Amino acid sequence: KAGVTQTPRYLIKTRGQQVTLSCSPISGHRSVSWYQQTPGQGLQFLFEYFSETQRNKGNFPGRFSGRQFSNSRSEMNVSTLELGDSALYLCASSLAGPGGNTIYFGEGSWLTVV
């Protein structure tokens, strides 16, 4: 079974631009969550989607947004990029059934803002 796939793996953007990152979950997984990882702040929860609906959102500004498609694939967008947005962005998927669900991470997208 293929794992969580994220694209692109590496990208460099200029301040003020916007970026879209893509995530394909493990087949059959219906929940997709996104995280930002930086050396200073660690691994921070951005948002989680299930059946095309955002169920929860972390403490990030509105410049960070996401969506989920009917096939469970997800995208996240960051507008008006700032230098501090440079980070590893991780996508994770899970079955989203009842009870605690194991969450599996993709390899991540490394974003550098210059």
Partner 1 sequence: QQPVQSPQAVILREGEDAVINCSSSKALYSVHWYRQKHGEAPVFLMILLKGGEQKGHEKISASFNEKKQQSSLYLTASQLSYSGTYFCGSPAGGGADGLTFGKGTHLIIQP
What is the binding site for partner 1 (CB under 8 A)? 31, 33, 35, 42-45, 47-48, 50, 55-56, 58, 90, 92, 94, 96, 99-108
Q: How far is the CB of 5 from partner 1 (least distance, A)?
A: 11
CA dist 51 → 32, 58, 70, 72, 111 (Å)? 9, 19, 7, 7, 27
CA 79 to chain centre: 14
**Contact at 8 Å (CB) between 17 and 85?**
no
| Nearest distance, CB of residue 17 and partner 1, angstroms | 25
Q: Which is nearer to partner 1, 7 or 56 (CB)?
A: 56
Residues 93 and 111: their CA atoms lie apart, in Å, by 20
Residue closer to partner 1 by CB (options 16, 99) is 99
Q: How far is the CB of 74 from partner 1 (least distance, A)?
A: 12
